[in-house]
């Protein structure tokens, strides 16, 4: 697991020689977070990622946990925003059921 995490870190972290479009080659591996919202009551951070669906990071930080990758048996293709209401209900949007970013 440590080797996998180190390799991902090497792939996903920009380097000094990166260009403005360097991320395009690896974003399907590293993710593309498009929407971020905190639950003010719990401190959880919810992430809408174009490739990985809906994720959550707890108030202590660490790795994101996958919450939703499909809806009614259909894989999410381009999750783009998330919101959390005062009751803790989480809402998210998806731009396309047919086309993924890549």
For the stretch 31-64, pLDDT in tens is: 899 999 999 999 999 999 999 999 999 999 999 9
Q: Which residue has the tokens 């999750």?
A: 79
Residue 90 has pLDDT above 80, yes or no: yes
Residues pairing with 81 in the sheet: 93
State pLDDT tens for residues 6-36.
566 677 776 656 777 777 888 888 889 999 9
Q: How far is CA 56 from CA 44, 45, 61, in A?
A: 7, 6, 10
**Model confidence at 3, in pLDDT bands (50, 70, 90)?**
very low
Q: How far apart are CA 12 and CA 26, in angstroms?
A: 7
- DSSP label at residue 16: T
Structural domains of the chain, ranges and CATH numbers in brackets = 1-30 (no CATH), 32-102 (2.40.10)
């Amino acid at each position: 697991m440590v080797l996998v995490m180190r390799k991902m870190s090497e792939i996903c972290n920009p380097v000094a020689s990166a260009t403005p479009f360097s991320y395009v080659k690896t974003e399907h591996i590293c993710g593309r977070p498009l929407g971020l919202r905190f639950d003010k009551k719990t401190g959880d951070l919810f992430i809408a990622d174009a490739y990985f669906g809906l994720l959550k990071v707890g108030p202590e930080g660490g790795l994101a946990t996958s919450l939703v990758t499909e809806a009614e048996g259909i894989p999410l293709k381009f999750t783009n925003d998330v919101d959390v209401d005062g009751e803790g209900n989480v809402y998210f949007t998806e731009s396309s059921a047919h086309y993924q970013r890549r």
